[in-house]
Structure 1
Amino acid sequence: MFGLLRSASRPGLAVLRATRTTAAPLASSRVFARTIVTKRFTTDHEAVIYDSDTKLGTVTITDYAQSSLGDVVFVELPTVGTAVKQGDQIGAVESVKAASDIYAPISGTVESINEELSSQPGLLNKSPEQDGWLCKIKVADEAELDALMDAEGYKAHYEQS
C-alpha cells in the first residue's frame, strides 16, 4: 500500500520541482513595497493614523473622547486645501453634554474631509476611529509623529485624568 502511494506521488513531485524551477526567476524579479501604518495620539484625545505609502494622516477622535462627550449632534470640519500646523484648531464637535475643539495632530494640508459627518454626526459615537474619521492631512513633516504618544502612552495618559 505505502509503495503504491510513494510511486503515485513521485510524478507529482517531479511536476512540482519543474514548476518551482521555472517559477523561481519570476518570483525573484518581483519587487515588494512595504507600507507602514502608524497610529499616534495627542493629549487632547485626537489620533492620527499615518500611512507611509500615501503620506496621509487620517485624523480621528479617540474612543475615550467620544465616550466623554456623549451623543454627538454636530461636527465642524476644516476646509479641503487648508494648510495646518500641529496644534492648530481644525474644527469642533458639539454633543448633548459639551462642545470641544479639534486640534491638528500633525502639520500639512487637508486633503479630504468626512462628508458623512454633516448628516450623520453620530458616526463619531458609533465608530470614532474608523467610519467617524474627521479629515485626511497630507503630512508635511513625518518627524512630528515622534512627538505624539503611542497606544501605551496614551492609555497611561487618559487613565491619569
Structure 2
Amino acid sequence: MQPFLESSRAFTQELTSFYDFINPTAAAMWNLRWQVKGYVEEQPAVTIEELHGRFVAGSGIGSANLRRHCIERPWEQQVNESSVLGLTGAIGLFEGWLQALELGTDTERDNLQFPSQAIRGKFGAADVINRYRSRLSPALEAAFGPNPQIQRSILWVSNR
C-alpha cells in the first residue's frame, strides 16, 4: 500500500534504497573477510600492499587495511559498527521526512522527534498525535471510513 502523503512516499523510497545498499554491503563485507582470511592462511607473510593489490585495486578506494579489518577485528564488532551507520542514516532520513511532512506546524514536526512531554518536559510525538486525534476529520472518515485498527494503534502510541 502506497503512503498517502508525498513526503511519506519519498521517505519510504529513500529508506528502501538505503537498506538495499546497507544489507548487501554487509554481506559483501562478510565475503571479503572470508576471502582475505583464506588468502592470509595460504600466504601468511602477505603484506598490506599485496592484499590491497589483490582485493582493493581497481575499486577507487585509496586505503584499506584488510589485515586489520578482516582478520584482527571480530565480525560482531563490524556488524555493530555497520548497525550504527545504518541507524544514523535512518535517523537522518526520518528527520528529513519530518521536515518535509505536509501536516502540522514547524514546532509540531520538531516535537514528533521525541516520545512525549513526560520524557523531556516539552511536547513530543504522543502529545502531537493526541492533539490531532482529538480532532477527527469528517472528510477523512467520509473518504476512508472509521478504521478501528488505526485507532487502536494511535491509542497504543499515545499511551506509551
Give the TM-score taking structure 2 as reference length: 0.22
- Structure-1-length-normalised TM-score: 0.22
**Structure whose residues are more often strand by fraction:** 1
Q: Which has the higher helix share?
A: 2
Choose between structure 1 and 2 for higher RCO, CA contacts under 8 A separated by at least 6 residues.
1
